[in-house]
Amino acid sequence: MPSDLARRAGQHFARLATNLVVRTPVLWPLLRPLMRAMFDRLAPQWDSSREPGHLAAYDAGLAAVDGPARALDVGTGTGLGAFAIATRFPEAEVTGVDLSGDMVVEARRNTPEELAGRVRFEQADAARLPFPDGSFDLVALANMIPFFDELERVLAPGGALLVAFTWGPETPIFVPFERLRAELEARGFSQFAEFAAGTGSALLARKPRPD
């Protein structure tokens, strides 16, 4: 298959999978092997296919966050989001997780020496994160399907959740902000703020503290 056709087929699949999983999360186990295989295949060329400003909206959201001690980048790919967090917040310990083992290999290889002591990467499924409840003060996602129950679970009370999309609604993996807000409000999140930067958009929300 010509590579442009393969790329467009992959984008359609990513959009379809996102729409299905956000509405019906129980379908995820059926889609997971296909998603992992697709991103394993894309991993070696992921960085060269990215455009400048890829994380402009993600960065704009980070600028509004109080410095976290522990942060998680979910669906980190080759690690760019984890590096952005670690660079902005020099006190933060940052974990990046990805379903694709080949993405994790690239992320580890990309880690700048000066961040290596504070940034680590693990292969993990966002639908079942290998972390105890309340492990992180900041959980961030760029261009990644949100698994709302797990995001809420691993975030500490009072912690910040950031969801960003590089091309706004044109992003293959995209969830409309009304839908994000509704899912998060149903889980008690508040203090929503929206950001637009470059081609991208982001939503920031805060998990409530118990009374």
Residues in 153-192 that interact with ligand SAM by CB under 6 A: 173
Distance CA 47, CA 107 (A): 10
Token duo for residue 52: 């400048």
The SS3 call for residue 139 is strand
CB-nearer residue toward ligand SAM: 145 or 205:
145
CB-nearer residue toward ligand SAM: 62 or 173:
173
CB-nearer residue toward ligand SAM: 144 or 184:
144
Is 65 one of the binding residues for ligand SAM (CB under 6 A)?
A: no
The three-state DSSP-derived secondary structure of 31-79 is HHHHHHHHHHHHHHHHHHHCCCCCCHHHHHHHCCCCCCCEEEEECCCCC
Match 């880690």 to its residue by tokens. 111
Please give the single-letter amino acid code of residue 51. E
- Judge whether 138 and 91 are in contact, CB under 8 Å: no
The SS3 call for residue 205 is strand
**Shortest Cβ distance from residue 208 to ligand SAM (Å)?**
25
Is 83 one of the binding residues for ligand SAM (CB under 6 A)?
A: no
Q: Which listed residue (98, 106, 137, 152) binds ligand SAM by CB under 6 A?
A: 98
CB-nearer residue toward ligand SAM: 41 or 209:
41
**Shortest Cβ distance from residue 100 to ligand SAM (Å)?**
4
Q: Give me the residue whose beta carbon is nearest to ligand SAM.
A: 77
Site string for ligand SAM, 8-37 (x = CB under 6 A): ---------------------------x--
**Shortest Cβ distance from residue 9 to ligand SAM (Å)?**
15
- Judge whether 154 and 135 are in contact, CB under 8 Å: yes
Say how many C-beta atoms besides its own lie within 10 A of residue 88's C-beta.
15
Is 111 one of the binding residues for ligand SAM (CB under 6 A)?
A: no
Beta-bridged to residue 57, according to DSSP, are none
The footprint of ligand SAM (CB under 6 A) covers 35, 39, 75-77, 80-81, 97-100, 103, 125-127, 142-145, 173
